[in-house]
Amino acid sequence: MSYSSPLFSRLMKLALAAAAEVRVERVRFGSHTTAVVLSDGRLGLAMHFDRSPSGEGRDHAEALMAGRPARDIVSMLGSPVALESSVAVACINALEPGGPVRSAGPVQSGGSVRDSQSGRPGHFLDVMDLRPDDTLGMIGNFIPLLERLRPRVRHLLVFEQIEEEVDGILPASLEPDLLPTCSVVVISGTTLVNHTLDGLLDLCSGAREVVLAGPSTILFAEAYRGTPVTWLAGSRVHSPEEVLPRIAADFSFHDLRPFLHKILMPVGR
């Protein structure tokens, strides 16, 4: 049975409206990544959690999804099938209307109407309202950023899908107890793919700031209003012709950074 929630319903409604008559041109899967190319040349990305041996079935899935209306692929959002869930998120990211982005500069949480519609370039570290007495919770693989963040807060709690604490990284099983104590939270956009975002947001109701970050983040700010999310920090692909072969060659999102624009969007509550 497909996963559904008010947030996912809003995301699907906005994406279906954006899909219009667009078709999916190509789909490519890496070991952990998904790329969807639309008939108008736009490309969207997402992480996937397919762990079938040697990627069995991925070539078949690529062939089945190519040429279909984008609306059909968007309708897979929430699918219990790992590749379908991922390709839906990647397709929605390709459909995100985007538009010209503004130059970076100071902005208050909540931003302007124009910010929330088209976004602005920048990294979420530049806009997060971090204070010396904060407890910062991070869900996902943000390890390269930890040394930059640790001096800015009192406590830094990092959660991953592991069984026991390793080198200060906490198991996700502790999230229900510790996440409600966090005043600021950063959540990986991959939680849209594995359908854990809603449950995590329920644990963040007391947080002052919640950032949804990473290339899997769907940049439809309107859908997140009424949730604890205050910022979206995603990516737009500026060189699709460079990205697609690299996905097929199993490049990671980290490797793809030269071909991505980091985008910030405030979410009005």
Q: Within a domain: residue 103?
A: no
Q: How many domains does the chain have?
A: 2
Task: Determine the pLDDT at residue 110.
Answer: 46
Q: Within a domain: residue 248?
A: no
Task: Determine the pLDDT at residue 141.
Answer: 77
The pTM of this model reads 0.91
Task: Determine the pLDDT at residue 54.
Answer: 64
Whether residues 143 and 185 share a domain: the answer is yes
Cβ contacts of 102 within 8 Å, gap of 6 or more: 114, 115, 118, 120, 121
Task: Classify the C-alpha dihedral 13-60-250-165 as positive or negative.
Answer: positive
Whether residues 193 and 257 share a domain: the answer is yes
Task: Determine the pLDDT at residue 113.
Answer: 40
Q: Within a domain: residue 49?
A: yes
CA distance 34 to 134: 35
What spatial distance separates the first Cα and last Cα of the chain, rounded to whole Å? 31
Q: Within a domain: residue 66?
A: yes
Whether residues 89 and 149 share a domain: the answer is no
Whether residues 132 and 80 share a domain: the answer is no
Task: Determine the pLDDT at residue 118.
Answer: 73
Beta bridge partners of 264: 120, 233
> What pLDDT tens digit does each residue of the chain (269 aa) get?
899 999 999 999 999 999 999 999 999 999 999 999 999 999 999 999 998 876 678 988 999 999 999 999 999 999 999 999 999 999 999 999 774 333 333 334 444 444 556 788 999 998 999 999 999 999 987 888 999 999 999 999 999 988 899 888 999 999 999 999 999 999 999 999 999 999 999 999 899 999 999 999 999 999 999 999 999 999 999 889 999 999 989 899 989 999 999 999 999 76
3-state secondary structure of 221: helix
Whether residues 179 and 212 share a domain: the answer is yes
CA distance 140 to 233: 14
The range of the structural domain enclosing residue 38 comes to: 6-95
Helix (H) or strand (E) holding 18: helix 6-19
Whether residues 155 and 185 share a domain: the answer is yes
